[in-house]
Amino acid sequence: MRFSSTPHREWSLFRALGVLILSLFVTAGCASMPDPTDAEAVAEFEEINDPGEPANRAVFEFNRGLDTVIVKPAAGMYRHIIPPPVREGIHNALNNLRSPVVFFNDILQGEFGRAGTTLMRFVINSTIGVLGLGDPATDFGFEYHNEDFGQTLATWGVDEGPYIMLPIFGPSNPRDAVGLVVDFISDPLNWWATNTDREFITYSRSGTRAVDGRARNYDVLEDLERSSLDFYAAIRSLYRQRRIDEISNGKSSAIMPAPGLSDEPILPGPRRSPDEISISQ
């Protein structure tokens, strides 16, 4: 096993993401501003915080196209073929594999009690729960929660920056995009897979998370798209509400969690957080 460095192809992925974020910043900077004399329009523009909206909408449509052609059909087959208890086991196992990243961010945020909960969940579910397929930890009072480095940066006072729509990964902002990269790098499973020439494990895990998340939100996404006058704006609003709720550990007034793909690539929209959601990536 070699741990000297991350292979060139992995760093290429990080560089590509960096170039993507930079290009979106440039696009955002070139977006048209409202008339400075129109105070109401300026206030609305600042509240929406989406200066690169034209480019973001184009990426959003690209993501929807991928969803229509690949992810949605796969999620539909997954729901149709795989029995619900098996799907629940897969979902539990995916959450369990993410425990080291959650624990890492619990510690960085100074949430030592929650870190203890994450550790106990990992130990119990990895043993009694048979490699995480079961979730006896919840029955023992150790409830699931999710953390990521984007949330950690927020607790450290880092501003979110402008709203951006990432290809494949969906709704984000500069702070969460950085968190996405850090979470990937800090995940022990990714390091092990990379350093033992088993990158297929990382890709398989990401693909399974995408299909699992899309399947769990299949009906909700359909309803949301049908009922929204502007699906893009609805996703943008729900993403922000969900992130506020996650950062505050559920203490905010947000009741409609929405897409945020710092931990799982769902196209294009909502996921349940942490397991089930009120409406919605």
Which one of 17-31, 73-87, 244-258 scores highest in mean pLDDT? Answer: 73-87
What pLDDT, on the 0 to 100 scale, is given for residue 249?
Answer: 84
pLDDT 10s digits, 52-67: 999 999 999 999 999 9
Give the separation between CA 243 and CA 246, rounded to whole angstroms.
Answer: 5
Confidence check: pLDDT of 209 > 50 = yes
Looking at residue 71, what is its pLDDT? 96
Q: Is the pLDDT of residue 89 over 90?
A: yes
Q: Among 134-143, 189-198, 216-225, 244-253, which range has the highest average pLDDT?
A: 134-143
Pairing type for strands 164-166 and 170-172 reads: antiparallel
Report the alpha-carbon distance of residue 13 to residue 9 in Å, rounded. 6
Length of the chain: 281
pLDDT score recorded for residue 48: 82
Assess whether pLDDT exceeds 50 at residue 259: no
What's the whole-number average pLDDT of the chain?
Answer: 82
User: How far apart, in whole angstroms, are the C-alpha atoms of residue 239 and residue 235?
Assistant: 6
Q: Are 133 and 89 in contact (CB under 8 A)?
A: yes
Q: What per-residue confidence (pLDDT) applies to 280? A: 32
Whole-number pLDDT of residue 22: 54
Structure-model confidence comparison of residues 77 and 22, the more confident one: 77
What is the per-residue DSSP string for 138-182?
HHTT-------HHHHHHHTT----S-EEETTTEEE-HHHHHHHHH
Q: Is 36 helix (H, G, I), strand (E, B) or coil?
A: coil
Place of tokens 């048979």: 130
Percentage with pLDDT > 90 across the chain: 69
Question: Can you give the pLDDT at residue 250?
Answer: 72
CA 261 – CA 211 distance, rounded (Å): 13
Over residues 170-186, the pLDDT tens digits come to 999 999 999 999 999 99
C-alpha 180: how far from chain center: 8
Secondary structure of 260-280 as H, E, C letters? CCCCCCCCCCCCCCCCCCCCC
Contact 180, 170 (CB under 8 A): no
Q: What is the DSSP letter of 51?
A: T
Rounded CA gap, 157 and 12, in Å?
Answer: 29
